Amino acid sequence: MSFLGKWLPTTCAALALATGCGHKLDNLRTRAAHDLTCERDHLQLSDLGAGSWGVSGCGKQATYILAHTGGSSYRQWVMNSVTSEVSEPETYTASSSAPASGVQVTRGERGNTLNLELWPGKSALRVRLMAKPTLIPDHVLVGFQQRARKRPDEPCEVRVVANGSLLEAPPPKYEHTKDRVERWTFELPPATVAQLASAQRVVAQVCAERAELDADEIAQLAEFMLRFREEQALAGQAPVSEEGSKEPPANTAL
């Protein structure tokens, strides 16, 4: 598997943030983390235009504007609106700190979301899985993240080997963020992820960075797929077996 992506620098579109943009957006992230009860690294920011910014994460989203408050001569971020239980965007993000341990479940009206973040060997490589088993049963998002290379426009191959066999996968989606992070996100069939979860040895290589999953991390993959099939079974859907075929639904409901 190989993928070549180029990064084009971006700037703040809002005129009010043209100076000190990065600092102000960092303040916005801190403010939103408090308001939405969500870790900073789990938040996604989007420029809505006219000085308004959207923030989403942890099943919530809010809109913020810069405004003078309490007679202060300095403008501060003020929440304009907030919505709970929104669908998380289908993109890969990863924390810059140590990932949460085990499979995380975010409950939503349209089905639960499963998240698992791994830091194999405390290397420079991060791995994250995200799935919506009942809403999107045909694939799992598997993302790889590392700090941006000095020359990110150079070709980079992403390979995953399970029990000595190269994993077959479609080309990934590539991102190069202004935080100098490169991400590769794959849409993998659940059976392929189940294959990784049942392997004795899993090694990933992204560009020149290589990392091996330990026994505990492979066990977390297995738990992720167990939760995936569990969510489908509870919703009355036929879960996907490790071989890739759909298992017949149970005839008896307790």
At 29, give phi and psi (nearest 5°).
Answer: -60, -40
Q: Where along the chain do its domains lie? A: 17-84, 104-234
Checking if the pLDDT of 243 tops 80, the result is: no
pLDDT value at residue 16: 40
pLDDT value at residue 33: 85
Between 140 and 237, the higher pLDDT residue = 140
At 164, give phi and psi (nearest 5°).
Answer: 85, 0
Lowest mean pLDDT among 66-80, 85-99, 160-174, 218-232: 85-99
Task: Read off the pLDDT of residues 109-132 as tens digits, 9 standing for 90 and up.
Answer: 778 999 999 988 878 889 999 999
pLDDT value at residue 178: 79
Checking if the pLDDT of 174 tops 60, the result is: yes
Q: Sorting pLDDT into bands at 50, 70 and 90, what band is 17?
A: very low
Q: What is the rounded average pLDDT for all residues in the chain?
A: 78
Only one residue has tokens 């341990």, namely 101
Q: Sorting pLDDT into bands at 50, 70 and 90, what band is 202?
A: very high
Across the range 228-242, mean pLDDT stands at: 81
Report residue 26 CA to chain centroid gap. Answer: 20
User: How is domain 104-234 classified at the CATH fold level?
Assistant: Immunoglobulin-like (2.60.40)
